[in-house]
Amino acid sequence: MTPLRVLALSGSLRSGSHNTELLRAAAAAAPAGIELELYEGVKQIPPYDADDDGGADRQPEAVRRLRAALARADAVLVATPEYNSSLPGVLKNALDWVSRPLALSPVRNKPAAVLSSSTGGFGGVWAAAETRKVLGALGARVLEDTVAVPQARERLAGGVDDELAEQLRVVVEALAAEVREREAAAAA
Amino acid sequence: MTTTQQQTTALPTGTWELDGVHSSIGFAVRHSGVMTFRGTFGDYDARIADGRLEGRAQVASVQVDDENLAAHLQSPDFFDAERHPEIRFSGRETRLDGDRITIAGELTVKGETRPVELVGVATGPVVDGYGKNRLGLDLEARIDRNDFGVSWNAELPTGDRMLDDEVVLTANLALVEA
């Protein structure tokens, strides 16, 4: 049976990112039959400029790679930190590129979920809400299922514990259930 | 007037097919609190058979004057065309008072089926320029879009919401006796 593919996008670029760690932990916690691919090319995506946007198949190479990875995926899992009460520019920029043109967005109708973490007390919930809003605008089937990790420095000091891994597994399972429902509807 | 016009007490018997060229269906919703935004559907059908009005519209055919908005309307935020490609109306009971018509029936949007009333004006039947019997229905229904799971909204800087909950569905139907 073909594994169900989830593309994992981190809104944080730094190597020790808590959010990237959440995605790696989600990959490890995913049940058999679900593969999470951590997308590594967000940093290479240039700032959006309509002058460089020649259409879905004529965008810069780094954007086309992301488009292709999203097109291959059955679902999308984003983990985002919170910058100034919202999602980071690099993440928004990547999503803006793949939203053009909107009717050809590779996340269109794809199940998507958003995780967040922050070193503060709220776990990036506003950034997650904004990211959900943006994914909805791109046409994704956005789930409310989420995990928000506050005080991430302390909480993740010893890595992702079993309780958190279980919460991540639940979100991945929810994505998978939505993918299966979509496939069943398409086959009907 | 050279055409003959008769007063009806209900939708006529027989089968009446849509004249799509001279008909339109659409929706209107208050936008930004100040104006009415309208959209239409290009691919739809309606007919009267056995005194009952039935209609359906393809969500993919929604027509608005912006390609990004058109794409957003297809998405799960709005109509979710992938999962629910069709909007349907099935008339159950018709009441006529002069030319004022009320058609009670069931509307299905985004997989949710709810009772609604279409109200408006019925004109005819008349014999048209081609010798066919022709009936006009100008109908509207007021619905709360949240009842059908079409709940997307955005907050304006004032704290108000961009879109009203109430949506007016409109159907201006020219129907010709088969």
Residue B2 has pLDDT above 80, yes or no: no
In a domain, B171, yes or no: yes
Asked if residue B78 lies in contact with residue B27, where contact means CB atoms within 8 angstroms, the answer is no
Residues of chain A contacting residue B75, judged by C-beta atoms under 8 Å apart: 108-109, 136, 138-140
Q: Whole-angstrom Cα distance, residue B172 to residue A162?
A: 60
The reply to whether B5 falls in a domain is no
Give the model's confidence band at B1: pLDDT under 50 very low, under 70 low, under 90 confident, else very high: very low
Is B8 contained in some domain? Answer: no
Q: What confidence category does residue B4 fall into, taking pLDDT thresholds of 50, 70 and 90? A: very low
**What is the CATH superfamily name and number for domain A4-187?**
Flavodoxin domain (3.40.50.360)
B33's torsion region: left (phi>0), alpha (psi -120 to 50) or beta? left
Please state, in angstroms and rounded to a whole number, the distance separating the CA atoms of residues A109 and A115: 19
Taking only Cα atoms into account, the Rg of chain B, rounded to an integer number of angstroms, comes to 17
- Which residues of chain A does B82 touch, with a Cβ-Cβ cutoff of 8 Å? 109, 182, 185
Check residue B148 and give left, alpha or beta (phi > 0: left; psi -120 to 50: alpha). alpha
Average pLDDT value for chain B: 92
Does B71 contact A182 at a Cβ distance shorter than 8 Å?
A: no
Is residue A172 predicted with pLDDT exceeding 70? Answer: yes
Cβ of A105 within 8 Å of Cβ of B83? The answer is no
- Interface contact B71-A142, CB threshold 8 A: no
Chain A residues with CB within 8 Å of chain B CB: 101-103, 105, 108-109, 136-142, 182, 185
Q: What percent of chain A has pLDDT over 70?
A: 99
Would you list the domain boundaries of chain A?
Answer: 4-187
pTM for the model: 0.86
Q: In this structure, are residues A118 and A82 in contact, taking their beta carbons and an 8 Å threshold?
A: yes
- Tens of pLDDT along A20-68? 999 999 999 999 999 999 999 999 999 999 999 988 888 999 999 999 9
- Note whether residue B116 is domain-resident: yes
pLDDT greater than 70 at residue B5: no
Nearest Cα residue in chain A from B76: A141
- The reported pLDDT for the residue numbered B36 is 94
Residue B6 has pLDDT above 50, yes or no: no
User: How far from A78 is each of A36, A114, A127, A128, CA to CA, in Å?
Assistant: 11, 5, 11, 9
For residue B61, the domain's CATH number is 2.40.128.110
Q: Which ipTM value was assigned to this complex? A: 0.82
| A136-145, A171-180, B124-133, range with the lowest pLDDT | B124-133
For chain B, what is the domain count? 1
CA separation for the pair A124, A118 (Å, rounded): 5
3-state secondary structure A39-77: CCCHHHCCCCCHHHCCCCCCCCHHHHHHHHHHHHCCEEE
Residue B51, domain member (yes or no): yes
Query: CB–CB of A109 and B76 under 8 A?
Result: yes
Mean pLDDT of chain A: 95
From B156, B80, B62, B149, select the one nearest B113 (Cα to Cα). Answer: B149
Contact B67 A102 (CB under 8 A): yes
B76/A140 Cβ within 8 A = yes
Residue B10 lies in a domain: no
Residue B12 in contact with residue B50, Cβ under 8 Å?
no
Contact between A142 and B76 using a beta-carbon 8 Å cutoff? yes
Q: Give mean pLDDT, residues B75-81.
A: 96
Q: At what angle do helices A125-137 and A89-98 cross, to 10 degrees?
A: 10
Q: Check pLDDT > 70 for residue B8.
A: no
Helix (H) or strand (E) holding B35: strand B35-41
In a domain, B147, yes or no: yes
Which of B61, B77, B80, B162 would you mutate first to test chain A, the one with the most A CBs within 10 A? B77
* Residue B105, domain extent: 15-177
Q: Does B83 touch chain A (CB under 8 A)?
A: yes
Using CB atoms, pick whichever of A101, A139, A182 lies closest to residue B75.
Answer: A139
B127's enclosing H/E stretch is: strand B112-127
Residue B7 has pLDDT above 50, yes or no: no
